[in-house]
Chain A
Amino acid sequence: MNIAALKDLLYRLADDKLILGHRNSEWIGFGPILEEDIAFASMAQDKVGQSLAFYQMLHELGEQEPDTIAFTRTTAEFRCCHFVELPIGDYAFSLVRHYLFDLADMIRLRHLAASSYKPLAELATKLFKEGKYHLMHGRVFMKQLGNGTEESRMKMQTALNEALPYAYSLFEPTIHTEALALAGVQPLEDELMKEWQTELYAFLPICGLRMPNVENFIDHFGGRKGYHTEYLPPLVKEMTEVFAIDPEATW
């Protein structure tokens, strides 16, 4: 097993979930209705919990404690993609991102459940169950608002047009991508992306939405190498604020 490649993958998975979980938690108390506020916050919390599971696995592979990894790295050390760093925008944007992310996540988890790295396969099997609800929630809201009023459809289409070019950064390849595929840890990023795209093409018409024409999605790559958008540093600063006051404190 190529440990460097494995760690590279785990950092990507964990950081995506931590940053998106933190982003989505910004809606707490501001959701459109009480019931949805609770549901969305709960899923944000799930994401942070999932990131912890991956950090724990990294720790078992010799990396630092999960809290140390999550709260003391510089932004350049994060391996999240640009898509999860973007601000929450309006609720339509957050919903569309939530759906696009979870669709990609579920496709990835389904493959990881058959990974040659057994601990990862076991974890993926567990997370897949939780992810079922996240994707179901995303699909129902996409359908509901895409087929709702003209105003709601417009908002969703606009959000989709904005979000989609960035969403491809979820599948940004790294120098380890091929080694991971060869070792049977997970398929090539490109293959995952194609699977994701196929599902999108099938699902968007059901929501009354059209697939935007995306060119140059490569523009939004870089996160996997540690190059991030201007939105990440303020997020990390806020996220680590409390931890930084007393890193030795026990919680």
Chain B
Amino acid sequence: MKPSFDPRVKRLELPSMESLYEEGELYQWQTYEVFQQQARGDRHMHVGSLHAPNPEMALVLAKEQYGRREQCVNLWVVKTSNVHATRYEDSDMFLHATNKIYREGAGYKVKGTIEEFKHNLDGYLAGSEGNEQKKEVEVVDAPKIANLDRVIRLSAGKNGKPRMILIRKI
């Protein structure tokens, strides 16, 4: 062990740890990255890593490390060595040199409509009878086009164009 440069620190003279363990193939297991999914259909999110000798063991151990505190319906494990990453030295390449707000989700004009729709969703779905929504919103059964469950027609927008929300079958 290297002596400390701080004069207040006196380190115990212990033998090197390396001599205590024989570093064979099984000395240290490889690591796996763990991805957790909170609900079916959600994306899997990286939650951490762990040691395991194979994928089966990794899954078994991951369940208690990462799957027991938060809601979880599915786990993925991936060998850390199978992850390919960019270099932090290059992280400046992600910066936008010129204004590219049109590429960001927040830049889309439709965002306000989506938020409004989410906010009123219950009303829209229930709203075919009697309430005020009826005038503005018409819920029609799915037309027989690909994978659509229903189509909700909203009242015309400020520009006078009809607006529509398509709900896809899951």
Residues of A within 8 A of B (CB): 33-36, 38-39, 42-43, 133, 136-137, 140-141, 143-144
Contact = CB atoms under 8 A, between A and B. Distances in A.
Contact of A39 (B29, B53, B60): B60
B10 interface: no
Interface string B37-54: 000000000000011111
B60 A38 contact: no
Nearest to B62: A35
Interface of B: 29, 50-54, 56-57, 60-61, 63-65, 68
A208 B52 CA distance: 21
22 contacts: A34-B51, A35-B50, A35-B52, A35-B61, A36-B61, A38-B64, A38-B65, A39-B61, A39-B64, A39-B65, A42-B68, A43-B64, A137-B60, A137-B63, A140-B57, A140-B60, A141-B57, A141-B60, A143-B56, A144-B53, A144-B56, A144-B57
Given A33-B51, A34-B51, A39 B56 contact: no
A35 B67 CA distance: 13
Among A35, A38, A43, chain B packs the most CB atoms within 10 A around the CB of: A35
Given A36-B61, A133-B63, 4 more contacts: A33-B29, A35-B51, A137-B60, A144-B53
Given A140-B56, A140-B57, A39 B63 contact: yes
Among B53, B56, B64, chain A packs the most CB atoms within 10 A around the CB of: B64
Nearest to A152: B26
Contacts of A33: 29, 51
Contacts of A34: 51
Contacts of B63: 39, 133, 137
A143 B65 CA distance: 21
Contact of B64 (A42, A141, A143): A42
Contacts of B61: 35-36, 39
A247 B63 CA distance: 36
Nearest to A38: B64
B124 to A, nearest CB: 36
A42 B68 CA distance: 9
Contacts of B29: 33
Contacts of A141: 57, 60
Nearest to B56: A140
Contacts of B65: 35, 38-39
B70 to A, nearest CB: 14
Contacts of A36: 61
Among B60, B61, B63, B65, chain A packs the most CB atoms within 10 A around the CB of: B60
Given A35-B65, A38-B65, A42-B68, A136 B60 contact: yes
A235 B64 CA distance: 26
A36 B60 CA distance: 9
Nearest to A133: B63
A141 B61 CA distance: 11
A166 B51 CA distance: 33
A141 B58 CA distance: 11
A104 B22 CA distance: 39
Contacts of A39: 60-61, 63-65
Nearest to B59: A140
Nearest to A43: B64
Nearest to B64: A39
Nearest to A149: B26
Contacts of B64: 35, 38-39, 42-43
Contacts of B68: 42
A143 B56 CA distance: 10
B47 to A, nearest CB: 14
A105 to B, nearest CB: 18
A35 B63 CA distance: 10
